[in-house]
Copies of this chain bind each other. A is one copy, B any other.
Amino acid sequence: MGNYDIIFGHLEREGKDFVSRIEGSEPLFICTIATTETAKIPGLSAAGAMPEITDYTPPADVELLYYGRCRCIDGVPVTPDGIPTPALITMSALRLSKIPCIVVNGGLRVTPKAPFFDVGGNPGRDIRTGKAVEGPGEVFERSRLIGRQLSKLAGYVVVGESIPGGTTTALAVLMAMGVDARRKVSSSMPGNPHDLKLKVVDEAFKAAGISFGSLEKDPLKAVSCVGDPMMPAAAGLISGAAEEVPVLMAGGTQMCAVLNLIKYLSPGIMGNLAIGTTRWILEDKSSDIKEIASRIAPVPILAAKLDFSESRFSGLRAYEKGVAKEGVGAGGSSIAAMVSSGGSVTKASLLGEIEGNYEMLTNAPPR
């Protein structure tokens, strides 16, 4: 195995095996985007400066990947403090390594001004209705078809996500399926609002008439009650692709919820999976991705050893304080960029590219 800026954070041997298997083959990056009204609950998500803005974050993220600029909004998605979307990292990783990218719409209120796969999904409702997602089974099946078709061409597939509010829906689905993830899911904000998330999940469970573990073996019901529309799309893509090739699940604790769906929907493909995230998620003290994953299945966790502490830009240094952390497959796409380039893409060359793109997109002077 070559030398890469990757931390083998969980199940080191399996993680290194995974990297050995993908070395020398061509990746495809698929970004799964969706929205849920859950994101608009005040205080829950940092993905938009205002709750209504969360409808625009996923389409703006993928416009950035395709065009190097957003089209449905001015500038780029930022947190309330002005910290830029992790799509900036993904965009930089894909450009450095020339990895192809496609987008799957799991269910959006605002579609991107860019091409995307339609899999029949609808935007998600507030999980406090207990009826969060319509028709997840059909979305899963159509997405699995895409995964199967594209895995005939790619050496491996990297599946990322962008959905504001997604850690709360992840918590809800994990809990409904009997995985105790209380105070363990991550957040795009430095202060992880665990109490608020638990309150929202509690209300969602009451509305759906479910309880901890009551949907342990009914993943699609768990999604339809308290999940989000990214989940069945990502689970389908991963399931279909992993029948043929290795799949890197690019995300933080949200991908643990997807992993738990796959555990029941496609148990035969678990050996083809790894989670790829960022160092900021792996080292986050307010969440515990390793503990959640270990309660689900022996799937390794890799983390891109990104380090923005020496960046010229305060907007990037903020990532070291726990802002954003992950999203849009930032960690997984960075890992794929490093491995597919044979190690010539490093955390240093990535930071250079990210800073260049940040400067271009925000006209920010170094400070």
Query: Residues of A with Cβ closer than 8 Å to B?
Result: 26, 28, 66, 98-102, 105, 111, 113-120, 138, 142-143, 145-146, 149-150, 152-154
How many subunits of this chain does the assembly comprise? 2
Q: Is the CB of A117 within 8 A of B117?
A: yes
A sample of 12 more A-B contacts (CB under 8 A), given A117-B118, A153-B153, is A26-B153, A98-B152, A100-B153, A102-B149, A102-B150, A105-B118, A113-B120, A114-B145, A115-B118, A115-B120, A115-B146, A116-B117
CA distance A28 to B146 in the complex (A): 13
In the assembled complex, which residues on chain B have CB atoms less than 8 Å from the CB atom of A120?
113, 115
Q: Using Cβ atoms and an 8 Å threshold, which residues of chain B touch A143?
A: 115
Question: Could you tell me the distance between the alpha carbons of A66 and B26 in the complex, rounded to whole angstroms?
Answer: 25
Contact A100 B142 (CB under 8 A): no
- How far, in angstroms, from A142 to B117 measured CA to CA in the complex? 12
Tell me if B118 and A153 are in contact (CB < 8 A).
no
Residue of B nearest to A153 (CB): B153
Q: Complex Cα distance A357/B194, Å? A: 56
Contact A100–B145 (Cβ < 8 Å): no
Using CB atoms, name the residue of chain B closest to A94: B149
Is A142 within 8 A of B115, CB to CB?
yes
CB distance from A149 to the nearest CB of B (A): 4
Cβ-closest chain B residue relative to A152: B100
A126 CB, min distance to chain B CBs, angstroms: 26
Cβ contacts A to B, 27 pairs, < 8 Å: A26-B152, A26-B153, A28-B153, A66-B145, A98-B152, A99-B152, A100-B149, A100-B152, A100-B153, A101-B149, A102-B146, A102-B150, A111-B118, A113-B120, A114-B145, A115-B117, A115-B118, A115-B142, A115-B143, A115-B145, A115-B146, A116-B117, A116-B118, A117-B118, A118-B118, A150-B153, A153-B154
